[in-house]
Amino acid sequence: DWSTASSPEQISHFIKPHLSYNSLYLETLLLLLRSIMPKHPTPNHTINN
């Protein structure tokens, strides 16, 4: 249940068993989650833009 995942660590722990066969997809998904959240802007965003 996604409603029980309130932190990135819990979300990662929840989906990791399902995506353990494809770590690259997991990393991409985590990057997408980070890019969606505007709370923590990184210098990489300004360089890419």
Domain extent for 10: 2-48
Structure confidence at residue 10 (pLDDT): 75
Looking at residue 13, its pLDDT comes to 73
Count the domains in the chain.
Answer: 1
- For position 44, what pLDDT does the model report? 58
Produce one character per residue of 27-45: b if its CB has 16 or more CB atoms within 10 Å, e if not. eeeeeeeeeeeeeeeeeee
Give the pTM.
0.33
As given in the structure block, the two tokens for residue 36 are 């969606």
Residue segments in the chain with a per-residue pLDDT below the cut of 70: 1-6, 15-22, 38-49
Dist. CA 49–CA 46, nearest whole Å: 5
Q: What is the pLDDT of residue 34?
A: 84
Task: Write down the pLDDT at residue 49.
Answer: 47
